[in-house]
A and B are shown apart, each in its own frame.
Chain A
Amino acid sequence: MLDANLDLEIGLGRDEPRKAVERFEQFALEHELPMGLTFKFQLALDELLTNVVSYAFEQDAAEPVITLALHLTDDRLEARLEDNGRPFNPLRDAPAPDLDLSAEDRRVGGLGIHLTKAFVHALNYERVDGWNRLYLVQPLGAHREDQT
């Protein structure tokens, strides 16, 4: 029975989300996850991490901590993303983009959370003792056909 973990600490640099998702990609490759699923989950993690790295902390935040914990079993992939930055629930606080607007009227931005919601089976948020916690869950069965 498969039971694999990957725990990462993420810094505040502009290229930190990329470093983290490339570690995830390697993890996914090692465990032979389907490519389509790996891409979508990677994009979701990237969007959420980019939000946290860009907006969760003041310039002079005392001790910013961002962690990502991945857990893979035979039937599901889970991620827990935690940070001790300002409260932010992307499921509620990020305005949904209006996809029917023209290029001229579309807001620049707002798409990251939209893509994340579309590409991950379940996404939950909670605020606990000064920490933002996001949980991502992806059952593996539903994506078996994506294997290429």
Chain B
Amino acid sequence: MNVETSYSGSTAVAVVDGRIDSANAKDFDEELSAIIDRGVSSLVVDCGGLNYISSAGLRVLLIAIRKTNEAGGGLALCSVPDHIREVLEVSGFVRLTKVFATADEARASFSK
């Protein structure tokens, strides 16, 4: 797993690739927490390069959704591969966070 983040004020886009499971969910949590701790309230997680996520990774996303909601922003996902989208649907995450086709659309949703 690798996370590359670009910042713009209180909005950030984190591009995640590889695999998130119980072996590295803690690292993913630390990455997202560090971004939010920098004052980011609106976080876009770009899943274009994500090829695997288990419930351990979903837990991390849930925590980040809560933190960004509390900060008055939120968390949005974009570029989600079909098989990852199915995981989000089955786990009810599509009701907790919005899913956009592109990072630009996701970012724009926060400025409305």
How many angstroms from the CA of A114 to the CA of B87 in the assembled complex?
10
Picked from A14, A54, A103, A109, the residue with its CB within 8 Å of the CB of B96 is A103
CB-CB under 8 A from A14, the residues of chain B are: 22-23
User: Which of B9-17, B38-46, B54-62 contacts its partner?
Assistant: B54-62
**CB of B31 within 8 A of chain A?**
no
The answer to whether B69 touches A114 (Cβ under 8 A) is no
How many angstroms from the CA of A53 to the CA of B21 in the assembled complex?
13
Known: A43-B54, A50-B54. A104 touches B59 (CB 8 A): no
CB distance from B59 to the nearest CB of A (A): 5
Question: Chain B: how many interface residues by the 8 Å CB criterion?
Answer: 23
Interface residue ranges of B26-59 to A (CB < 8 Å):
52, 54-56, 58-59
**CB of B2 within 8 A of chain A?**
no
How many angstroms from the CA of A14 to the CA of B25 in the assembled complex?
11
Picked from B23, B52, B63, B90, the residue with its CB within 8 Å of the CB of A15 is B23
The answer to whether A108 touches B62 (Cβ under 8 A) is yes
How many angstroms from the CA of A46 to the CA of B52 in the assembled complex?
11
Question: Chain A: how many interface residues by the 8 Å CB criterion?
Answer: 29
Known: A17-B23, A47-B54. A114 touches B91 (CB 8 A): yes
A105 — nearest CB in chain B belongs to which residue? Answer: B66
How many angstroms from the CA of A29 to the CA of B91 in the assembled complex?
27
How many angstroms from the CA of A99 to the CA of B58 in the assembled complex?
13
Known: A104-B66, A108-B63. A99 touches B95 (CB 8 A): yes
Known: A15-B23, A50-B56. A106 touches B96 (CB 8 A): yes
Interface residues of A (CB under 8 A from B): 14-15, 17-18, 35-36, 39, 42-43, 46-47, 50, 53-54, 97, 99-100, 102-104, 106, 108-109, 111-112, 114-115, 118-119
